């Protein structure tokens, strides 16, 4: 398939991703269970109900979303450090949704995620 998802489809993917902790919470025992992760990806694929969308594409799209998320966090951090009057606010519709649950495990990064989240909300 390999087509770009609409913003609404991407938001839906993020919402489905949130429901499957085994895919994103590295502290969870389920995260270490490959069969559980594959099952979760299959459920997401079915729930997305997009013809031709497969598990590999779901995995790729999740990686892209997470990469974009970290790029957006970097932009926020740079805007707060630069002394700019306005703090950068992400324009992607799904940012706050993803941030609401990923921020708890994103602490592995050097960016103070919780502080940034408080700034943009």
**DSSP string over 10-50:** HHHHHHHHHT-GGGT-TTSGGGG-HHHHHHHHHHHHHHHT-
Tell me the pLDDT tens digit for each residue of 32-62.
999 999 999 999 999 999 999 999 999 999 9
How far apart (Å, rounded) are the C-alpha atoms in residues 24 and 50? 22
Residue 18: inside a domain, yes or no? yes
Residue 98: inside a domain, yes or no? yes
pLDDT for the residue numbered 112: 53
Categorize the per-residue pLDDT at 3 as very low, low, confident or very high, splitting at 50, 70 and 90.
confident
What is the rounded average pLDDT for all residues in the chain? 87
Q: Which of the pair, 5 or 106, is modelled with greater confidence?
A: 5
Tell me the pLDDT tens digit for each residue of 13-38.
999 999 999 999 999 999 999 999 99
Cα separations in angstroms, 40 against 18, 43, 46, 54: 11, 5, 10, 13
Beta carbons of 5 and 17 less than 8 angstroms apart:
no
Q: Is the dihedral of CA 109, 110, 113, 119 positive or negative?
A: negative
Q: Is the pLDDT of residue 113 over 70?
A: no
Residue 28: inside a domain, yes or no? yes
Domain span holding position 116: 7-120
How far apart (Å, rounded) are the C-alpha atoms in residues 19 and 44? 9
Q: How many domains does the chain have?
A: 1
Q: Is the pLDDT of residue 8 over 90?
A: yes
């Amino acid at each position: 398939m390999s087509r770009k998802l609409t913003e609404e489809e991407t938001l839906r993917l993020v919402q489905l991703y949130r429901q499957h902790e085994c895919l994103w919470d590295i502290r969870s025992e389920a995260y270490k269970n490959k069969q559980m992760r594959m099952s979760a990806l299959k459920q997401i694929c079915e729930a997305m109900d997009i013809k031709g969308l497969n598990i590999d594409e779901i995995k790729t799209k999740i990686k892209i979303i997470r990469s974009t998320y970290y790029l957006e966090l970097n932009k926020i951090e740079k805007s707060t450090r630069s002394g700019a009057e306005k703090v950068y606010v992400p324009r992607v519709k799904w940012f706050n949704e993803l941030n609401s649950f990923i921020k708890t495990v994103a602490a592995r990064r050097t960016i103070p995620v919780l502080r940034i989240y408080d700034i943009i909300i």
